[in-house]
Amino acid sequence: MLCLPIHRNQSATMMTKLETLTAKLGKTCCLAILLLLTTSIAQAQSLDELVTARLGQMKGVAAYKWINNRAIEDLEREKVVIENAVNVGLGYQLETRSYGNFFKEQISAAKEIQRYWFNIWSRDPKSAPTSAPNLVDDIRPELIKLGNEITAALGQQSTLNGPLPVEGLSLETQKRLIDAASNIETYQSKMRQVLASRKLRVGTTGDYKPFSFFSTDTLNDTQTKQFAGIDIELAKDLAASLDAELILVQTSWPTLMQDLAAGKFDIGMSGISRNLNRQRTSFFTIPYHVGGKTPIIRCSDAQKYQTLADIDREGVRVIVNPGGTNFNFVKNKISHASIQIFDDNTKIFDEIANNTADVMITDDIEVTLQSNLNPTLCSAMPAKTLTYSEKGYMLPQDTQWQGYVNLWLAQRIGDGTVDGLFADFTQ
């Protein structure tokens, strides 16, 4: 694994200066120390400021806990915070063990500062706070925001040098925090990341039957929404083949490519069409479904819309979801009919059934499924498509990762798993 290029000698020099100053001023660092020392690069200053800002929130956290008689330590919450931080770190290929250790040190520092204030208020109750910002509504969102910014800074190879001018933070704790930052490692490839972290993050839209959609389950009179579909079942199978935990990350068609580029998921599985534009910045697997675009209409209008020319006329209302290949097709091929942009892909077919739109042009498999679900809807051109398209899984540009997923998918196509799932979810 490759270590981030933290300048350990630079950090050691800064800490030597810090030790000299704190010997005179005491071990609680204050703003005077920061004014006497400067870091050598802007990135290091930025990370120092972010960590300082996050730890600076701890006096408010302590005040809230003091007023509400809450314990400083909350092990269950700490576990959630570390897990979330590690998952965000995977977007920057930060190795889970070393980055998790860094976040644990941040939590230890946070608790030390809170105990410092508790001790002061215990000794002098008159100095204790009588009001505080709300932990859940006010402080926690800011902590999450700063935590994500710290992760991004480390992902861009920023360094942590110190000193960190936060009242209540000891020199020893600062050293541990700086050492933990200097020991953060990164994964060399997406394949190594998935295998070593044992986490598979799958980007999916949840709005495209039969590939990815939300299913409502009821348990003990409580309804929960869960992802379902062909690609969700195959995602479970892929995770099992890797001995990895499956993490489903909701994305959208307008943000699909940006989310992949930002490292929000390791693979996109949501009935994604393979095309040259997407291939410029991503890789695709072999196709697992072949089809094309075709119109879906009200069955009562079957004689009106038999060709694309019949559809592209004034007075015809073509409805389309934003982003993705449906939108691109309509934008390029429809010039006379009115175009209605409809954001909710799960309800878009109701607009046709309810006569608030006339036509949607989408993938033939979706037309087949929706016409089976709603007997008032029909394919305008049965057994005919206006384009040729292939569905595949979208990946970062990592040949080793692509090779693994291709082999897995070829095996699942060959053993009938894929055909079986298409049969289950389209009937």
Average pLDDT of span 367-392: 94
Q: How far apart are CA 99 and CA 239, in angstroms?
A: 23
> What does the pLDDT read at residue 346?
85
Are 22 and 87 found together in one domain? yes
Minimal CA–CA distance to 112: which of 48, 161, 180, 177? 177
Round the average pLDDT of the chain to a whole number and report it: 89
Are 41 and 97 found together in one domain? yes
Whether pLDDT at 55 is above 50: yes
Q: What is the pLDDT of residues 403-412, one digit of tens each?
A: 999 999 999 9
Are 282 and 400 found together in one domain? yes
Do 154 and 47 meet the contact criterion of CB atoms below 8 Å apart? Answer: yes
Are 118 and 238 found together in one domain? no
Q: What is the pLDDT of residues 116-134, one digit of tens each?
A: 999 999 999 999 999 999 9
The enclosing H or E element of 215 equals strand 212-219
Final residue belonging to a domain, choices 165, 188, 211: 188
Are 14 and 68 found together in one domain? yes
Q: Which two tokens stand for residue 333?
A: 């091929």
Counted domains in the chain: 3
Minimal CA–CA distance to 155: which of 187, 196, 200? 187
Average pLDDT of span 24-38: 36
> What does the pLDDT read at residue 313?
96
> What does the pLDDT read at residue 100?
96
> What does the pLDDT read at residue 46?
82
* Contact partners, residue 133, CB within 8 Å, separation at least 6: 60, 63, 64, 139
Are 154 and 7 found together in one domain? yes
Do 90 and 197 meet the contact criterion of CB atoms below 8 Å apart? Answer: yes
> What does the pLDDT read at residue 39?
34
Are 240 and 341 found together in one domain? no
- The residue type found at 186 is T
What strand order describes the sheet that includes 283-284?
245-250, 199-204, 267-268, 394-395, 283-284
Final residue belonging to a domain, choices 188, 211, 243: 188
Final residue belonging to a domain, choices 167, 188, 209: 188
Q: What is the pLDDT of residues 191-220, one digit of tens each?
A: 999 999 999 999 999 999 999 999 876 555
Whole-angstrom CA distances from 354 to 306, 312, 348, 359, 396 are: 21, 21, 10, 12, 41
> What does the pLDDT read at residue 18?
44
Are 158 and 212 found together in one domain? no
The range of the structural domain enclosing residue 213 comes to: 191-289+391-426
Q: How far apart are CA 391 and CA 405, in angstroms?
A: 14
Q: Which long-range contacts (CB under 8 A, 24 or more apart) does 374-378 make?
A: 374/349, 375/299, 376/298, 376/299, 376/300, 377/296, 377/297, 377/298, 377/299, 377/349, 377/352, 377/353, 378/296, 378/297, 378/298, 378/299, 378/302
Q: Which long-range contacts (CB under 8 A, 24 or more apart) does 167-170 make?
A: 167/28, 167/29, 167/30, 167/59, 167/113, 167/116, 168/28, 168/58, 168/59, 168/112, 168/113, 168/114, 168/115, 168/116, 168/117, 169/28, 169/29, 169/55, 169/109, 169/112, 169/113, 170/27, 170/28, 170/112
> What is the CATH classification number for the domain harbouring 284?
3.40.190.10
Band of pLDDT at residue 22, cut at 50, 70 and 90: very low
> What is the CATH classification number for the domain harbouring 107?
1.20.59.10
Q: What is the pLDDT of residues 245-259, one digit of tens each?
A: 999 999 999 999 999
> What does the pLDDT read at residue 207?
92
Are 362 and 239 found together in one domain? no
Q: By three-state DSSP, how is residue 240 classified?
A: helix
Q: Does the CA dihedral 288-291-292-298 come out positive or negative?
A: negative
> What does the pLDDT read at residue 323?
87
Are 184 and 195 found together in one domain? no
Are 54 and 135 found together in one domain? yes
> What does the pLDDT read at residue 31?
33
Q: How far apart are CA 150 and CA 411, in angstroms?
A: 41
Q: What is the pLDDT of residues 283-325, one digit of tens each?
A: 999 999 999 999 999 999 999 999 999 999 999 999 999 988 9
> What does the pLDDT read at residue 426?
87
Cα–chain center distance at 66: 34
> What does the pLDDT read at residue 223?
63
Are 281 and 159 found together in one domain? no
